[in-house]
């Protein structure tokens, strides 16, 4: 039996979708193929790597990727994590379930390094909650 595909999308595939991919792989294990991509490629944000490492999840080997229309068409679930990706994501077939989890872009926060890190942690924790809820609903 083929693994179900969960595809996390945001604009640059640098922060939110990368964190969601990391949590998805952690919480959903080998039952799912968990992937992420973006409308554009901005590279993986070092602060996303740092805050994920703080909770024991290493995303340092993940890369920023563009949306693959073939994966999109065969996904079981597509989750957009920003309004830009929600609006600009290519059309999916009717059998592909879509959800939108609106999270602010932590990379847009200005201020001190501590304030920027706090923004990344807040978004990380919110994404972790949503992915763990998704995993729990899949296991019920």
What torsion, rounded to 10 degrees, do the Cα atoms 125, 91, 73, 70 define?
A: -100
Q: Whole-angstrom Cα distance, residue 69 to residue 106? A: 27
The 8 Å CB, 24+ separation contacts for 111-118 are 116/47, 117/47, 117/50, 117/51
Catalytic residue check, 15: no
Which of 9, 10, 37, 57 is catalytic? The answer is: 10
Catalytic residue check, 10: yes
Q: Whole-angstrom Cα distance, residue 111 to residue 47? A: 14
Which of 89, 127, 134, 135 is catalytic? The answer is: 89
Helix (H) or strand (E) holding 33: strand 32-38
Which of 37, 51, 82, 85 is catalytic? The answer is: 82
* Catalytic residue IDs: 10, 82, 89
């Amino acid at each position: 039996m083929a693994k179900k595909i969960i595809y996390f999308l945001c604009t640059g595939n640098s922060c939110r979708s990368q964190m969601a991919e990391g949590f998805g792989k952690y919480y959903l294990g080998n039952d799912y193929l968990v992937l992420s991509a973006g409308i554009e490629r901005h590279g993986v944000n070092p602060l996303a790597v740092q805050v994920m490492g703080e909770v024991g999840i290493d995303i340092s080997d993940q890369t920023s990727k563009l949306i693959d229309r073939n994966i999109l068409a065969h996904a079981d679930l597509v989750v957009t994590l920003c309004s830009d990706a929600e609006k600009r994501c290519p059309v999916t077939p009717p059998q592909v379930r879509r959800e939108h989890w609106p999270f602010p872009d932590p990379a847009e926060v200005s201020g001190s390094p501590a304030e920027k890190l706090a923004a990344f942690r807040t978004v990380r924790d919110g994404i972790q909650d949503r992915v763990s809820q998704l995993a729990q609903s899949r296991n019920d």
